[in-house]
Structure 1
Amino acid sequence: MLKHLGVRLDVTGLEHAQGGPYVIVALHEGIADPLCLLQLPLPMRFVARREIFGWPGIGPAITRLGHVSINPEHPLGGFRDLWRSAKRIVGGGESLAVFPQGAIAGLQSDFHRGAFEVARRVQAPILPVAISGTHRIWAHPFSPALRYGQRVSLTVLPPISAHDVQGTASEVLRIQTRRAMKAAALAPGAAPARRFDPDRDGYWDGYQLDIDPDFPDLARQMAEHRAALLARSA
């Protein structure tokens, strides 16, 4: 698929993707992200939104392949499904790839806690992967056209050992990993990352989309929008 799309994939840090199994946490920009992650020399399963499992063609295929369905808009149930699946998949020797942003809105979207807490509970190391540029292949809001010949950067960061995962509070681990991954995506020479613009993309009302507090202006704009929405509803 990458060859057909003419994707020019720049991979760095591949030496870090050894051993495992891992809980792989990756930045998320578009549907080509799993294709890029499959270049890692690791057997893996992916976590995806439940709605994708209902898509014609794609849904039945990823169901047969044993990928994991969760509903981020129901955090408790979604975490339970993630945890149970992680125990089975990581325990069977495969890595589990999670997109902790939970959406393809853009770089400024925050990370959910689930992947980090699950890694701690199943005593697995974490492999952080920064991806940028895939949003250019199939633009969001989704265009009916694909763009060919796009450059994508994939940077594998050093893994976080199971010992360090166990010894670090999940919230601290989440923030440290988020900052390291986004810094890699914004590094000089990396393919440009997608930026969330509510005026262009909408506010994703009804979705579990939070803004990274490291982007305070956008976080404030999102909070004001939600407060206004609640006021109108009341």
Structure 2
Amino acid sequence: MRTLRALVFNVLFFGGTAILCLSLLPLMLFGRKANQFVGHVWCRLVQFMLRYSVGMRRRFTGLENLPEGPCILVAKHQSAWETLTFHTVVPDPAYILKKELTKIPVFGQFLTLSGQIAVDRSAGASALKDMIKGAAKALKENRQVIIFPEGTRTPPGSSQPYHPGIYALYKAFPETKVIPVALNSGMFWGRHSFMKYGGLVTMEFMKPIEPGLDRKTFMNEVKERIDNRTKELESEAQKEFHLPMLTSDDIEARQDSAS
């Protein structure tokens, strides 16, 4: 039954995305907010599909830590789920994302026109300057800047080094609150995974990072707070919903057994 429900979602997801993008093409002509509206509609549509096809619901904690207006959200990245979900939590998100995504036909144009912050990761120092410039513009527009410091999706039970771009944002905008965000979405919707599992995905907004920290202290504080809370949320989800937990160790063990 889980496989059938996952199949239904995948068909709806890819088919619905294509139909929505094509049907809303005229909105590209009406500026950033109109294109951002497309993002809101798409994300809410996918959340609806998840709820009624595979039974995947969501739970937010720590919403009281979200300020009104601009902020910087530093989030764990395990799944496509959180890239959809922020659109339904904060009013005007500006994602820092890899430039390659803007080259996807139609979808990429919506990303660009909605004011997302595309960064060419191969450009070195100039990429960091572009990110700061884009973030400055977004924050001035009263938006919420979202960055995934690991730079890629990581499976539950694993962690990658956090890129120093988050400290650059912290230092460049000392008056802006930096909010760490933990989640357990990878337990329900894994990277490159056909399967989607029902249950309650948790996203937790933690207290802002103290201003004025040096680089080493800041990087350690952000990573420890996000990673430690994420591990707790993963364990809670596994016990509550009896989910398979595919960690990095599990992947290596399967590869060894297959060789």
Q: How much does 1:62 deviate? A: 1.0
Cα distance in 1 for partners of 2:79, 2:195 equals 12
Match of 2:179 among 124, 127, 134: 127
TM-score by length of 1: 0.73
Deviation (angstroms), 1:180: 0.5
Q: Give the length in aligned residue pairs.
A: 195
Cross-structure match for 1:26: 75
- The alignment status of 1:75 with 2:75, answered yes or no, reads no
TM-superposed deviation, 1:89: 0.8
Q: 2:159 aligns with which of 108, 120, 133?
A: 108
Task: Give the counterpart of 1:60 among 89, 109, 118.
Answer: 109
| Conserved? CA contact 1:153–1:190, under 8 Å | no
Equivalent residue in structure 2 for 1:35, among 84, 89, 97? 84
Could you tell me the TM-score, scaled by structure 2's length?
Answer: 0.67
Aligned residue among 206, 217, 237 for 1:191:
237
Structure with the largest fraction of helix? 2
Is residue 162 of structure 2 the alignment partner of residue 117 of structure 1? no
Q: Which ranges in structure 2 are unaligned for 5 or more consecutive residues?
A: 1-45, 239-244
Moved more, 82-91 or 12-21: 12-21
Separation in structure 1 between the aligned mates of residue 246 and residue 219 of structure 2, nearest angstrom: 21
What secondary structure sits across from 1:191 in the alignment? helix
Structure 1 pair 42–146 and aligned structure 2 pair: CA distance change class (3 A)? same
State which of 217, 223, 227 in structure 2 corresponds to 1:178.
223
Contact persistence 2:82–2:185 (CA under 8 A): no
In structure 2, the residue matched to 1:205 is: none
1:14 matched to 2:63? The reply is: yes
**Which aligned segments of 4 or more residues in structure 1 are displaced greater than 6 angstroms?**
none
RMSD (CA atoms)? 2.5
Identity across the alignment (%):
18
The verdict on how the C-alpha distance between 1:10 and 1:97 changes in structure 2, with shifts beyond 3 A counting, is same
> Greater CA radius of gyration, 1 or 2?
2
Contact 1:17 1:127 in 2 (8 A): yes
Change (3 A) 1:194 1:64: farther
CA displacement at 1:42 relative to structure 2: 4.1
